[in-house]
Structure 1
Amino acid sequence: MAERGPLTGRVALVTGGGRGIGAAITAELARAGAAVALTYRRDRAAAEELAGTLTGEGAAVLPVQASVEDPAASARAVEAAVAEFGGLDLLVSNAGIASRGLPVGETTAEEVSRLLAVHAVGPHQLVRAALPHLRRHARSDVVVVSSVAAGAWSAGGAPYAMAKAAAEAMAHVLAREERGNGVRVNIVAPGLVDTEMGRRLVRATREGADIRALDAGSPFGRVCTPQDVAAVVRALVDPACAYLTDQRVVVDGGTF
């Protein structure tokens, strides 16, 4: 069995928790002692492989298929976590998709609606489903994984930036609404991260360049990793970090 960690006794739900940043967050929380339900949309193999690895280390991990843009699926994921582990006191809204990188004048309403559904409306309804459970604890946490895009306003990124900004607005309001119920709400905003999405972005904007080619010009000699982001999420929900809410932590090595 895994050794008792600082998050032992806590139950987490991580959306998009089977790959990329979400997988790193799942692993970080599980190895710190939390029981973790992770959601995935299509890549069942990756989710089950991660769950199997962590379970083999003595952690308690439950993969659940759920699309964040489907409120009913999110509600089922919340109930699955509660049924499996007896409660829920830590929610990480991480699932996301990229936009096509087109200028405003060439972007359809359908693309904007899809990005808003995944990054803003879906997380809003996920939180709504989770709140009755979160409120039952003396301390609970919601962490919204956003992006520096909500503030950088880069050309070609309107749908993504709009959606992330909307998610951040929800988080700030939620922090003020739920403080009296013991719910801490914070935002983690990464820059470029070495994930599948990050690698696709680099190839699209730098004529097929490999993301590793950016290491030398990046802070500390490397591009940000999923583990860098996961470590910040883990720190925010640590028992020692009890007086922090309504904050936005940028994880980009100081470049933005």
Structure 2
Amino acid sequence: MGTLTGRTALVTGGSRGIGRAIAERLGRDGARVGVHYNEREAAAKETVAAIEAAGGSAFAVQARLGEPGDAEALWAAFDAQADGLDVLVHNAGVVVPPAGVAATTWEDFDRVFATNVRAPFFLTQQGLDRLRDGGRIIAVSSGLARRPANMPGLVAYSMTKAALDVFTTVLAKELAPRGITVNAVAPGVVDTDMNAGWLRASEEGRRQGAAAAALGRVGDPGDIADVVGFVASDDARWVTGHWLDVTGGSLL
């Protein structure tokens, strides 16, 4: 503990799953953590309480991403409780009902891009005057951005993560003069609520999820959070514009 002492972090979608694990990890490392949530206030408060119970400091930030004015609303809520930022983690994302190219609706396509791509873009744009020199921006991508899943219905979601990867690379170059590093961390199959519909429904689903990784198991949110903790630390000061494969070897 202590690698991020004196720094402030913001984790979008930080109330549950991978986001909660990231928020708790950054809290253990000494950062004061803003835990963003869309609707689940109780879950956000639980995450804040868990960080504080472990000796850290945190606060909840509410804003509905994917809607007009989302960036302004989030930063207004953040500014009411913090002065400046050191670590920005773009974790919030949505998955629309599985559908191939032919069956994807205009509404679902717009929704997933609004939340997974447009929101991080404008949150970053409007957060740059808050982000201190030497800071960190970390995007939670997906292995699906590099290799399609066996379920073709995830085409729109996969496209959003690929777009986020390009944004990460361009931003790393643009912000390098300020000493700000920008990286993407890409999970594979992780045991979260987002995957609960098929991963937790049966032993067969669990087996298939584990078989996707060369390391032979389903990922845990902590597996991703620990890599984010590294990227956020000074140990990763010479790493920027990088896409970190945290899929357990699913792309091998």
Give the TM-score, by structure 1 length: 0.90
Equivalent AA in structure 2 for residue 142 of structure 1: I
**Which residue is 1:92 aligned to?**
89
**Which residue is 2:236 aligned to?**
241
Please state whether the residue corresponding to 1:58 is helix, strand or coil: coil
Superposed displacement of residue 85, structure 1? 2.9
Contact 2:199–2:206 (8 Å) recurs in 1: no
Superposed displacement of residue 172, structure 1? 1.1
Could you tell me how far apart the structure 1 residues matched to 2:130 and 2:45 are?
Answer: 26
Could you tell me how far apart the structure 2 residues matched to 1:159 and 1:19 are?
Answer: 23
Could you tell me how far apart the structure 2 residues matched to 1:153 and 1:30 are?
Answer: 34
Could you tell me how far apart the structure 1 residues matched to 2:248 and 2:112 are?
Answer: 26
Contact 1:35–1:85 (8 Å) recurs in 2: no
Superposed displacement of residue 79, structure 1? 3.8
Q: Establish whether residue 147 from structure 1 lines up as the match of residue 152 from structure 2.
A: no
Equivalent AA in structure 2 for residue 69 of structure 1: G
Contact 1:199–1:211 (8 Å) recurs in 2: no
Could you tell me how far apart the structure 2 residues matched to 1:209 and 1:118 are?
Answer: 32
Percent identical across equivalent pairs?
37
**Which residue is 2:71 aligned to?**
74
CA change 1:149–1:220 in 2 (3 A) is closer
CA change 1:53–1:8 in 2 (3 A) is same
Superposed displacement of residue 57, structure 1? 2.7
Superposed CA RMSD: 1.9
Contact 1:194–1:211 (8 Å) recurs in 2: no
**Which residue is 2:173 aligned to?**
176
Structure 2, unmatched stretches of 5+, are: none
2:184 maps to which of 170, 182, 187 = 187
**Which residue is 1:102 aligned to?**
99
Superposed displacement of residue 19, structure 1? 0.4
**Which residue is 1:166 aligned to?**
163
| Structure 1 residues 37-56: aligned runs within 5 Å | 37-56=34-53
1:202 maps to which of 199, 214, 227 = 199
Contact 1:14–1:93 (8 Å) recurs in 2: yes
Give the TM-score, by structure 2 length: 0.91
Superposed displacement of residue 198, structure 1? 1.8
Deviations 1:79-113 (A, max 9, x none): 43344232111100000111222111111111111
Deviations 1:138-182 (A, max 9, x none): 310100001111111332221101111111111111111111122
Deviations 1:49-91 (A, max 9, x none): 1111222332111111112213533333334334423211110
Paired positions, count: 248
Superposed displacement of residue 199, structure 1? 2.1
Equivalent AA in structure 1 for residue 195 of structure 2: G
Structure 1, unmatched stretches of 5+, are: none
Q: Establish whether residue 115 from structure 1 lines up as the match of residue 112 from structure 2.
A: yes
Superposed displacement of residue 211, structure 1? 4.9
Equivalent AA in structure 2 for residue 99 of structure 1: V
